Chain A
Amino acid sequence: MGFYLVQLLTGLSNACALFLVASGLTLIFGVTRIVNFSHGSFYMLGAYIAYTLVEQSSGAFGFWGSLLLAGIAVGIIGLIVELIVLKPIYKSPELYQLVATFGVILVIQDLAQWIWGAEDLFGRRAPGFKGENATVDIAGTLMPTYDLAIIAIALSVLGILWFIFNRTRFGILVRAATLDREMVSALGVNQSLLFSGVFFLGSMLAGIGGAVQLPKGGASLLMDFEILSPIFVVVVIGGMGSIWGVFVASILVSVLQAFGVLFFPQSTLVLMFLVMAVVLIFRPWGLYGKEESSTEHAAGEIKEPLREVGSKMKMVFLTIIALLIISPIFLEGYNLNTIIDVLVFCLFAASLHYILGTGGLVSFGHAAFYGGGAYAAALLVTYANTPMELAIFFAPFLAGFVALIIGWFCVRLTGVYFAMLTLAFAQVLWSIVFQWSAVTKGDDGLTDVYPQIITSGSILHYYVVLILAVGGIILLRAMAHTPFGYSLRGGRDSSLRSEAIGMDVKLIQMSSFVFAGAMAGLAGSLFVFTKGSVFPDEMTIARSFDALLMVFLGGVQSLTGPISGAAAFTLLHEWLVQITEYWRGCLGILIICIVILLPNGLAGIGELFRNIFTKTPKEEAAK
């Protein structure tokens, strides 16, 4: 009996820790409609700052005071981020806001490493919760007392939040703004100040969540991404913007996990996502969420029609392809491999662009299909003795099948909801690969999956990658020009019109999602074909973000964007890694600058190119 009680309390304690962080995220989304990906970074900063403060302090007062101070400090950092990074882009398309907060993640990661070093730090135990007081006997089973303290802390925070939202003017304004921002401003409330206040409060909650975690788990540089998927899952389950929803979802997920671990120790992470999937089947907008007419142009409005490629542009393409064909003559080894990397990423980015640019659906989990294709190929080679050459052929189909399942859930939603859900499902896949080590070897990855006939590093190998990657990119481009691609674009421009001319928009989006997933799978299998191994890293949020950045850098507007973006990103990455240890931070600052200084992305530059290279209507008429 005691055992189950302790299990329940542990679950509740985890729920409380999760709630502290996730409540801040949902609060910020509710009022500002910004999905703050850097929320996990604020959580991590909370732990690090608390570590430093605790080391300087003494006594119970000093300890608990340090945790609180750390929260306030993180709140201030959040406020600074809001003022510098987000304030200028509140009116930009959602994609740019998401990319900007991702830039913040990179910067904070490197800042933390620079200040506190790469090693994990272990926090001091809380005074009064050490030695013989560290555990308490509950009906014969020992329970860490600090877990009980976390429950107490979270409940007090919930109480304080309740007081703020129901008894203070600020709280009432926040609730009103969550319901109708425009009306609040028409009643004389300065929105800008309100947003800043909410950002401070939300970030502070993340900071406190991180600080409270310190005596339990310490502080490490992985905390930011680790917390991201659980908090997004509970925010999505609870209904985005609902604090109460997050509380219920945190308890649901954590308690189920606490008991699930008894029965399926290998699949605790998957369990969390299963709960989410079940909830979303019945309530696509979460437990307490309301259906929202999301803005139709999450990736920014595209106003230029697709024109046939002009003769100058064709020359450029042909020249590049010709150069690629002859490059083994004067390049070898490392340089040839860099070209292969760029080609694979170009295909990956182009496949994301198909669904994001042409389809207007901002997918945040595209790595699921890239990694999915990679794992499909590697598993076929490892377990079915398939030759690698054949596995490349099957991988896109398996990745497409994965996209079919994920797409079924996701295409029902739009805008940030679609983004959140694709991200969550990508994490499901990642957690399966990560935890199901009997099959996937978990963190050790699948190695020695080299092709049998074509030796890696040979010229033949290079040409296989070249043909498949370039072929894939050309296929994606060609598809955009067919009725299938046009139907997808039509659904993005105006789903109302599509339905009114007899098109099934969701079915078109669904099949396009599968097609894009399959092409990402091809890129993933080419990756394995080249590297001879695959690790769960290929499925992480970070990998999905890489693809997004490539598409973003090249500009969402044009079909050539993802290719130049992928090339630029890969080369920039290679170069930054060579010159500085803190390449992430540099990249992050660069991303933030691009988002702020060019609030419409790189469209302006893209347009310039298009004007030079495409046929104008006049040219066409003259023909």
Chain B
Amino acid sequence: MSFLNVKDLSKNFGGIKAVQGVSFSLEKGELLALIGPNGAGKSTCFNMLFGQLKPDAGSVVLDGENITGLKPRKIWRKGVGRTFQITATYGSMTVIENVQMALISHHHQGFSFTKRATKMYREKAMEMLELVGMAEQAERGTATIAYGDLKSLELAIALAHEPKLLLMDEPAAGMAPTERQALMALTKRIVEEKGVSVLFTEHDMDVVFEHADRILVLNRGQLLANGTVDEIRSNPQVQEVYLGGGTTFANE
């Protein structure tokens, strides 16, 4: 039994089959990339894994526990961290407070009113920031930091409760090329150190080929290929899909 087992996941939107019978598994400590052309169903898949969408059919089993259809906040408590394509952070808090919030929530202190939030779990939060190289910016307002740093901060937030699985939706989008490589190298290092499994989507193929252990290719809601970097690179079907913008199109 693998660490994460996804079986026959399906979702329809008003008759359009966004995701159809997608099955795959993820091993412990593996960095798995999910790629595919626009509208292939990557986001839908991702949102079903994290509970923002309820699947019409299929199951998601994490470490032997069925988490299908749970709300995002419940899935998070099962040990799943999440970063977003467009960063979602608390703009009116300092960098470190963003991480502290995740820790406060993890310790079920979200409703507590006896202490100052900004003084809680500081050391642990700082540790997380050091891990992603953001310690120097800890006291800055989050609204004022650079976009690339926001992406690193998201990673620190996602790692705060020591998750077993990280879901990263386009972790490198909107960053400069050198920053992208740095962020993914960092992610890979953390995966190895902490034994976290990662599933990520990404448009930048350089990033994918450089860092992914294995690649899933989605097309029109279906899983088209599942293999190592070299297998995917040499798969003619995958090439056709990418050049054909998702449609397989007869040459005239």
Contact = CB atoms under 8 A, between A and B. Distances in A.
Interface of A: 301-306, 308, 479, 481-487, 489-490, 492-494, 496-497, 499-504, 508, 511, 617, 620-621
16 contacts: A304-B141, A305-B97, A308-B118, A483-B112, A484-B111, A484-B112, A486-B118, A493-B93, A497-B88, A497-B157, A499-B73, A500-B72, A501-B106, A501-B161, A502-B106, A617-B140
Given A305-B142, A481-B118, A482-B112, A487 B101 contact: yes
B218 interface: no
B92, B111, B120 — which one has the most chain A CB atoms within 10 A of its CB? B92
B82 interface: yes
A400 to B, nearest CB: 15
B94 A482 contact: no
A483 B113 contact: yes
A527 B32 CA distance: 63
A483 B73 contact: no
A302 B92 contact: yes
Nearest to A557: B92
A305 B94 contact: yes
A303 B117 contact: no
Given A305-B94, A497-B84, A511-B111, 11 more contacts: A481-B116, A481-B117, A483-B120, A486-B104, A486-B117, A494-B90, A496-B88, A499-B73, A501-B101, A502-B74, A620-B139
Contact of A500 (B76, B97, B118, B144): B76
A510 to B, nearest CB: 11
Contacts of B114: 482
B89 interface: yes
B110 interface: yes
B145 to A, nearest CB: 11
Nearest to B154: A497
B235 interface: no
Contact of A494 (B88, B116, B120): B88
Contact of B88 (A484, A486, A500, A621): A500
A497 B93 CA distance: 13
B141 A303 contact: yes
A621 B72 CA distance: 37
Contacts of B243: none
A483 B109 CA distance: 7
B77 interface: yes
Nearest to B157: A501
A482 B116 contact: yes
A494 B154 CA distance: 13
B185 interface: no
B93 A490 contact: yes
Nearest to B99: A501
Nearest to A496: B88
Nearest to B82: A500
B53 to A, nearest CB: 13
A485 B117 CA distance: 9
B73 A303 contact: no
On chain B, which size bracket covers the interface?
35 or more
Nearest to A360: B92
Contacts of B90: 489-490, 493-494, 497
A308 B89 CA distance: 21
Contacts of B115: 482-483
Contacts of A496: 84, 88
A503 B75 CA distance: 11
Contacts of A502: 73-74, 76-77, 105-106, 161
Nearest to B83: A500
Given A482-B117, A501-B102, A502-B73, A489 B139 contact: no
A493 B88 CA distance: 9
Contacts of A494: 88-91
Nearest to B106: A502
Contacts of A305: 92-94, 97, 141-142
Given A494-B90, A500-B72, A483 B111 contact: yes
B174 to A, nearest CB: 16
Contacts of A483: 104, 109-113, 115, 117, 120
B182 interface: no
Contact of A503 (B89, B94, B97, B105): B105
B200 interface: no
B143 interface: yes
A271 B102 CA distance: 45
A302 B117 CA distance: 18
A511 B110 CA distance: 12
Contacts of A484: 110-113
Contacts of A620: 139
B73 A504 contact: yes
B89 to A, nearest CB: 6
Interface in B132-173: 139-144, 157, 160-161
A513 to B, nearest CB: 14
B82, B109, B117, B160 — which one has the most chain A CB atoms within 10 A of its CB? B117
Nearest to B76: A502
A305, A497, A500, A617 — which one has the most chain B CB atoms within 10 A of its CB? A500
A484 B76 CA distance: 19
A47 B17 CA distance: 56
Q: Give 8 closest A-B pairs by Cβ, nearest first.
A: A303-B143, A486-B117, A497-B88, A482-B113, A493-B90, A617-B139, A502-B76, A501-B102
Contact of A499 (B72, B111, B112, B113): B72
A307 to B, nearest CB: 9
A486 B140 CA distance: 17
A487 B91 contact: no
Contacts of B82: 500
A397 to B, nearest CB: 17
Contacts of B141: 303-305
A501 B105 contact: yes
B44 to A, nearest CB: 16
A508 B116 CA distance: 17
Nearest to A488: B110
Nearest to A511: B111
A479 B115 CA distance: 9
Contacts of A617: 139-140
A504 B111 CA distance: 10
A363 to B, nearest CB: 19
Contacts of B161: 501-502
Nearest to A490: B90
A302, A482, A490, A502 — which one has the most chain B CB atoms within 10 A of its CB? A502
B91 A503 contact: no
B77 A486 contact: no
Nearest to B115: A482
Contacts of A500: 50, 72-73, 76, 82, 84, 88
B2 to A, nearest CB: 24
Contacts of B77: 502
Contacts of A499: 71-73, 76
B102 to A, nearest CB: 4
B104 to A, nearest CB: 5
A479 B113 CA distance: 6
Nearest to B73: A502
Contacts of A508: 110-111
Nearest to B139: A617
A483, A508, A621 — which one has the most chain B CB atoms within 10 A of its CB? A483
Contacts of B94: 305
Contacts of B93: 305-306, 486, 489-490, 493
Nearest to B77: A502
A497 B160 CA distance: 13
A310 to B, nearest CB: 15
A303 B88 contact: no
Contact of A304 (B50, B92, B118, B157): B92
Contacts of A511: 111
